[in-house]
């Protein structure tokens, strides 16, 4: 190709004005670029503070969307971001390619190939890049520089339009810019992004967008490990209180005798060990947000005082006669069924209704299977950075294993599995540029038992049995046997299986496992 086809240019321009979602707009952009430039892979990445985030890909493995590239770790990406015009790498460039092992058209290491990058600028600020790869050496050599500049300009306009629309939709451009500058280090360290494109995750993000801008009390519900704290941080960061403190307290770790002091503070001499004045979490969070994690564990005597603080904004530190007024938004989280706790007399009904003004349920990983590979790609890139490895790649059998595992520990368990598997793979493949994470490295619980169960489950010869069915059958049998062994004691069974009791009861309910209790009259 020597010149940019006018119809391609018109198509790019029209897409800017169409009522598309950002995902559709980006995908059309890449399709249009591929019409103009023949390539095996193309990707659009946004740029912020030395970090590149893939927004759309074609010709690359799906897991690439979950990756986040620190440009210091990738010389090619670094050079593209530092340039003011399109960059063409020589075929014999010894720079490692960030997509090694991820091209759909080539298994394993990339051979000698053509690589090119287009920096995207808006108002002289770098907002993203477009990368193009071709397995044909020299494929990009004859493309006029002006053609590339036009494509880069139109791509930048597409990305800028999408960014502006997103900013207008959330009505928080300034707050988000300030938030990103203040909290980027913490967000990167702790995993500050809700990753996922599944329907349950879109619903979760919609709920957050809906409630974040208002000062409603929010109750976040979900199993252990689903990311309730991350949801709380996201609500706070998207609120009008984003520039004020987000104070965290784990109610499960509070001894009853100290819970009131931790929440509301005390003065010197209020009790035996009170050697100095101390502000409570409500005072520290004044003007901001207080996140009460594991609220279901809060002692009953303290619940009434928490209710007063929620109703009137008044707190009374221990040892003080007068009350203090505070302006605090409360976000609470629990993995318990608080309705059941209320019925059992373990939680105040009035406090429950006050907390659940706007409940948000965080879906389990089992409910968002299509997000597993995105999350895996995200964790692989983080782990590669920590281990000093250039590239971590997931083997095909590992993908299937991760997709069919039940994930009782949810996203937290997935992160730990990926980290351990990467460490094992690195020790076996020391010195390689691309380290492949295989199924044997994942070492997931119950793998051998599930495989055995799949061969033992009796089914008609003509009936197909999926791995999920085999998994359910095995788990159903194992839980039933444990219940019989421990006389129907759910807590004992949970301990023996290494599960949280609430997660065990939910799993048993889904599998149709329950305990029947009978009353037998004894004859005299």
Domain stops at, among 361, 383, 417: 361
Q: What pLDDT does residue 171 have?
A: 46
**How many domains does one find in the chain?**
4
Poorest-pLDDT segment among 313-322, 374-383, 456-465: 456-465
Least confident of 104-108, 146-150, 206-210: 104-108
Give me the helices (H) in 37-130, please: 75-82
Q: Based on the domain organization, do 138 and 20 belong to the same domain?
A: yes
CATH number for the domain including 303?
3.40.50.300
Classify residue 178: in a domain, yes or no: no
Q: Could you tell me if residue 175 is left (phi over 0), alpha (psi between -120 and 50 degrees) or otherwise beta?
A: alpha
Residues 504 and 393 both lie in one domain: no
pLDDT at 256: 76
Tens-place pLDDT, residues 51-87: 999 999 999 999 999 999 999 999 999 999 999 999 9
171-185, 314-328, 342-356, 426-440: lowest mean pLDDT where?
171-185
pLDDT of 455 reads 47
pTM: predicted TM-score of the whole model, two decimal places: 0.67
Residue 1 has pLDDT above 50, yes or no: no
The per-residue pLDDT for 349 is 94
Q: Could you tell me if residue 183 is inside a domain?
A: no
Q: Mark whether 121 and 93 lie in a shared domain.
A: yes
Quick check: is 112 in a domain?
yes
Per residue in 404-427, pLDDT tens? 888 999 999 999 999 999 999 999
Residue 172 pLDDT level (bands cut at 50, 70, 90): very low
Residues 116 and 260 in one domain: no
Is pLDDT larger for residue 386 or for residue 472? 386
Within a domain: residue 336?
A: yes
Average pLDDT, stretch 308-332? Answer: 88
122 and 21 together in one domain: yes
Do the domain assignments include residue 490? yes
Q: At what angle do helices 467-485 and 490-497 cross, to 10 degrees?
A: 130
SS3 sequence, 213-232?
Answer: CCCCCEEEECCCCCCHHHHH
pLDDT at 109: 77
Judged against a pLDDT cut of 80, whether residue 485 lies above it is answered with no
CATH number at residue 433: 1.10.8.60
- Do 347 and 245 belong together in one domain? yes
41 plus 138 within the same structural domain: yes
Same-domain check for residues 274 and 154: no
What's the CATH number where 475 sits?
A: 1.10.10
Q: Can you give the residue range of the structural domain that contains 355?
A: 199-361
Q: Are residues 332 and 372 in the same domain?
A: no
Q: Which residues are CB-contacts of 9 (< 8 A; sequence separation ≥ 6)?
A: 150, 154
- Structural domain contains residue 264: yes
Find the mean pLDDT for residues 371-384: 93
Clarify whether residues 125 and 11 are in a common domain: yes
Last residue of a domain, one of 170, 189, 213: 170
Domain boundary among 154, 170, 186: 170
Say what the pLDDT of residue 3 is: 55
Higher-confidence residue of 186 and 481: namely 481
Where is pLDDT greater, at 225 or 181?
225
Residues 108 and 228 in one domain: no
Task: Tell me, yes or no, whether 240 and 101 share the same domain.
Answer: no
pLDDT for position 464: 54
Query: Does a structural domain hold residue 453?
Result: no
CA distances from 465 to 370, 408, 461 (A): 21, 22, 10
* pLDDT for the residue numbered 180: 42
pLDDT at 76: 94
pLDDT, mean over the chain: 83
CATH code (residue 59)? 3.30.450.40
Q: Residue 180 domain-assigned?
A: no
Model confidence at 454: pLDDT above 50: no
Give the separation between CA 100 and CA 390, rounded to whole angstroms: 9
């Amino acid at each position: 190709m020597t010149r940019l086809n006018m119809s391609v240019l018109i198509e790019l321009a029209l897409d800017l004005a169409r009522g598309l979602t950002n995902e559709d707009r980006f995908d059309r952009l890449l399709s249009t670029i591929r019409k103009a430039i023949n390539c095996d892979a193309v990707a659009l990445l946004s740029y912020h503070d030395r970090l590149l985030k893939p927004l759309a890909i074609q010709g690359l493995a799906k897991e690439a969307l979950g990756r986040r590239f620190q440009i210091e770790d990738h010389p090619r990406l670094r050079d593209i971001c530092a340039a003011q015009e399109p960059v063409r790498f020589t075929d014999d460039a010894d720079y490692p390619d960030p997509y090694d092992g991820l091209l759909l058209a080539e298994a394993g290491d990339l051979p000698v190939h053509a690589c090119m990058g287009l920096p995207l600028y808006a108002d002289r600020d770098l907002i993203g890049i477009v990368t193009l790869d071709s397995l044909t050496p020299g494929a990009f050599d004859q493309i006029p520089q002006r053609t590339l500049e036009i494509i880069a300009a139109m791509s930048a306009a597409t990305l800028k339009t999408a960014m502006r629309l997103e900013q207008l939709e959330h009505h928080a451009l300034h707050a988000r810019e300030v938030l990103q500058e203040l909290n980027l280090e913490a967000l990167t360290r702790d995993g500050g992004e809700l990753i996922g494109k599944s329907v349950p995750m879109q619903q979760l993000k919609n709920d957050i967008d809906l409630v974040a801008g208002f000062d409603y009390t929010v109750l976040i519900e979900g199993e252990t490990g689903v990311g309730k704290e991350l949801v709380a941080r996201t609500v706070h960061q998207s609120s009008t209180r984003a520039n004020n403190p987000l104070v965290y307290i784990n109610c499960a770790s509070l001894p009853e005798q100290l819970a009131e002091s931790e929440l509301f503070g005390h003065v010197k001499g209020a009790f035996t060990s009170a050697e100095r004045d101390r502000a409570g979490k409500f005072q520290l969070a004044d003007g901001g947000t207080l996140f009460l994690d594991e609220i279901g564990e809060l002692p009953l005597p303290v619940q009434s005082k928490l209710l007063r603080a929620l109703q009137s904004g008044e707190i009374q530190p221990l040892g003080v006669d007068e009350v203090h007024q505070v302006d605090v938004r409360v976000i609470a989280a629990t993995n318990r069924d608080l309705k059941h706790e209320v019925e059992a007399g373990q939680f105040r009904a009035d406090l429950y209704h006050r907390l659940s003004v706007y409940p948000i349920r965080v879906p389990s990983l089992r409910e968002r299977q299509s997000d597993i590979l995105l999350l895996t790609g995200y964790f692989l890139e983080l782990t590669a950075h920590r281990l000093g490895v250039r590239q971590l790649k997931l083997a095909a059998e590992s993908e299937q294993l991760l997709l069919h595992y039940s994930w009782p520990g949810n996203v937290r368990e997935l992160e730990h599995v990926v980290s351990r598997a990467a460490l094992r793979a690195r020790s076996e493949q020391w010195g390689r540029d691309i380290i492949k994470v295989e199924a044997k490295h994942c070492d997931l619980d119950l793998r051998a038992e599930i495989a055995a169960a799949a061969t033992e489950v009796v089914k008609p010869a003509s009936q197909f049995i999926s791995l999920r069915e085999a998994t359910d059958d095995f788990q159903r049998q194992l839980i039933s046997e444990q219940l019989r062994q421990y006389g129907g004691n759910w807590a004992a069974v949970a301990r023996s299986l290494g599960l949280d009791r609430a997660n065990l009861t939910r799993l048993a309910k889904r599998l149709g496992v329950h305990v029947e209790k009978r009353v037998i009259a004894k004859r005299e």
